[in-house]
Amino acid sequence: MWIFPNAEPWVWGDRTYLMGVLNVTPDSFSDGGEFAVLEAAIAQAHHLAINGADLLDVGGESARPNAAAVSLDDEMQRVIPVIQAIRQGTAQAPPLTIPISIDTTKAAIARAAVQAGATIVNDVSGATYDPDMLTVVAELGVPLVLMHLRGTPKTMQQLTDYGDVVQEVGEFLQQRIEAAIAAGVSPHHIAIDPGIGFAKTPQQSLELLRRLPELKALGYPVLVGVSRKSFLGKVLDQPDPKQRLWGTAAACTGAIAAGADILRVHDLPQLWDVARVADAIWRHRP
């Protein structure tokens, strides 16, 4: 269970929780630049919150394949004003109490974001890029999402040689869980993410979705991010990420059936409908 101020407790297995993507970057793979201006970012935050998001995931550095690294100062200038404006409100929009995750691999960004009002740290490197990340998260006392990734966004798609992708992803995540706990992060604050599409071929991404119960067996809530991703484009022969909504819906349904606890999505309210129906089938939700 995760508990946040001014929100219902998150009870794992009760229903699927939706993480709405709020990229405030100029170069994200499917919506780069759309929300880089503060007013647009705040409008999108309200759109996601009104239409079913349980959580907003604010990111200031793209992790798409071949993305360039972003300096700490640039990332700070992108994400902190947005988090502050979501929490404090603006002349055009009232404040939101919805939980916010900061999508970052930098401990300094995580600290500043939580001080500004974020409530979760979402680290796509599994807290391997910054040696201070686990200590900082433990000190902040907030939940942490650990994702599997090899290399960097520039190199990851050349690092897809696995013997058994599910086994090796599971081993990495188990190691990162143990490192987080050793650093003082509460086991009750940890979630894991197999990193669909990150250092994975399309077939490996599909294999991870098929065998998701093997990762659930690690005993931690599982976040799955399939929204608009290139493996769906391969299946659908669809190069435009924004035209992959129904493929995303199918992949999200499969992930819920396999036990996913959180879905990271772009398209709301459409994916809210998908999650509610899938929960009614597999989680016996009314």
Q: For residue 66, what pLDDT is reported? A: 67
Query: What's the structural domain count of the chain?
Result: 1
Residue 267 lies in a domain: yes
Q: pLDDT grade, residue 7 (50/70/90)? A: confident
Query: Considering only 34-38, 139-143, 200-204, which range has the smallest mean pLDDT?
Result: 34-38
Residue 146 covered by a domain: yes
Of residues 39 and 236, more confidence is placed in 236
- CATH number of the domain that 199 lies in? 3.20.20.20
Q: What is the 3-state secondary structure (H, E, C) of the chain?
A: CECCCCCCCECCCCCCEEEEEEECCCCCCCCCCCCCCHHHHHHHHHHHHHCCCCEEEEECCCCCCCCCCCCHHHHHHHHHHHHHHHHHCCCCCCCCCCCEEEECCCHHHHHHHHHHCCCEEEECCCCCCCCCHHHHHHHHCCCEEEECCCCCCCCHHHCCCCCCHHHHHHHHHHHHHHHHHHCCCCHHHEEEECCCCCCCCHHHHHHHHHCHHHHHCCCCCEEECCCCCHHHHHHHCCCCHHHCHHHHHHHHHHHHHCCCCEEEECCCCHHHHHHHHHHHHHCCCC
Q: Is 31 contained in some domain?
A: yes
Q: Span 20-37, mean pLDDT? A: 71
Give the residue numbers annotated as catalytic, written as ranges. 229, 264
Residue 4 domain-assigned?
no
Whether this model's pTM surpasses 0.95: no
In a domain, 87, yes or no: yes
Task: Kindly state whether residue 286 falls inside one of the protein's structural domains.
Answer: no
Q: How confident is the model at residue 159 (pLDDT cuts 50, 70, 90)?
A: confident
Q: Is residue 96 part of a domain?
A: yes
Q: Which residues form the domain of 192?
A: 17-281
Inside any domain, residue 35: yes
Cα separation, 271 vs 179, in Å, equals 34
